A and B are shown apart, each in its own frame.
Chain A
């Protein structure tokens, strides 16, 4: 169903692009350069210039209020890397992003395989599995903090199943709080991964699968050797989206734990917000933002390299 919406990725429709320049020169369709001016202006104003300034100010003692500032070298980064909370936030963020990426992708792929099959209720199921995606993340966070509370549904269900020994305050326990947030993220966004995998699955030509069946491939080896390699593009996009989303995680943490107990669920985003707007420590906050940018860039680069190698 979604394949028709993605002409750019379908190899079959790529050809016209390559022929287009020749025809363009002949007829001379004019696309004026100044059409880009409004978009570029606001992009420069909102993204490029402030980001560049952010990178620059991380080497200064700029406090956000004064107009004057001076360079302090790596001082801000030294204080970030010697700060317990910031280091906890860094570790928590990486753990959360990694766990959410793995679980959400496995769940999303399984859901996609499930609702792509012959089951009669597949259209209704897709709508249900996707519904949490449109729900406001902050609101979903509150609902889950209620479900996971000591007398919430999760503990009730455990007690009803005779597993009462496992019931406890999921968000109040430093050992489980971070994973409770991962659970919420997986519930909310598995549907997102599902539709992308579904789009990938539906782009696989039926003949390829039939050929594999004729060659005697069982369901597992068909999945492993035919379906999964053809889903490479969907995997790349999904992993990238989950990873970047997880690394920026803010809303659910604010709703569910506010970063606690202690610093057990503090993420880089909540730490940036608190150090800037509660503690007024702009230099620290901006250095932490630079660290976050570097982490995202490095992980995105690593992922890109790995997937490039796999597809070649």
Chain B
């Protein structure tokens, strides 16, 4: 049966990236009882990820140093860390929130007065013909693979999409000995140069980016601006990719000017979107702001959501990047500590640190990835949109035109978003298609209802160890 923890803790933090770990460290140092949970084996999140033990000798980077510092401070704090654990449900109870999780020892519940959701961002990938072939990997997923384990996505790799991960991933493949066939960026050179003033707020990061580009150029790797992948083909795996120019709305243009490359992998990504599964499941208020990654939970400056006792910080509350995350974490810790002290009348705490200044770089990067409408034109009618359910663009559009114009109705009518990924990879495309076909804006389409489990829940883990006689059997239904 589920292991039950009886004492009610003060603060439970979900997600041990730079935002969540900072909340845990600050709240614990103020004398509060804190538990922090992460599905990874160590703190650091995506950007400040811990290296696997096999590659500890790899050279340190600014991110790995920041991560090591965070991990060190967390481990010496009084916060209890539950790594390799997954939260699957959060529900209100009389004295706070009951959080249900699974770990190596089976199911477990923890009750906390306050819950801080620091669940970060998820990768956004728009479909393109052939994107479901083995060998296609997200830019963020490729980053995790290379940072955590120094594994290359392939030997000859196409890198395509938008945002700052393009030069990073391409450079990392090159540096670790792989071949980069080309880098295709939907943005033009002008889109990047417009953001130079903001990028110069973090000269260190800007310089590193410029260095990556210079080395890619020196290696003779084609850097194709305002280009996108037209299709990916191969017999059961990626073998060939066709790339061509796009217009300023990212719509494929000039079909004659396409080029083909033989590759064994494609790294594809279109920026990051805030993870909303947990906050949708809790019915927190959300709003849509393209400049912050699209839909995200609505919070005040200190991370208070529309539901008392539930807080959100880090990229899950709008993408501002890793540099802003510790500042957001500190601010949220302030709110949590203030509200715990005076529940009846939350004192107004004022934010610390200049979020605007530390987030300028992150904002510029997020704005590069704001989806433009023309990207839908790279998706042919036969292209899979919902890969869990194998639904093509034509299938999804048929569902929309027959009346499934809200996310929930479209889901029910077509099964779009009903598979194991919970809509993480198709929901935004489906919403953009709905907006286009119904003449509405993406922000008017809304979000589907969030449901547990937050991640697929293995029946073996939660339901195997049980004695039939202990099963609570409520009174049978009336005859």
Q: Do A and B originate from a single complex?
A: no
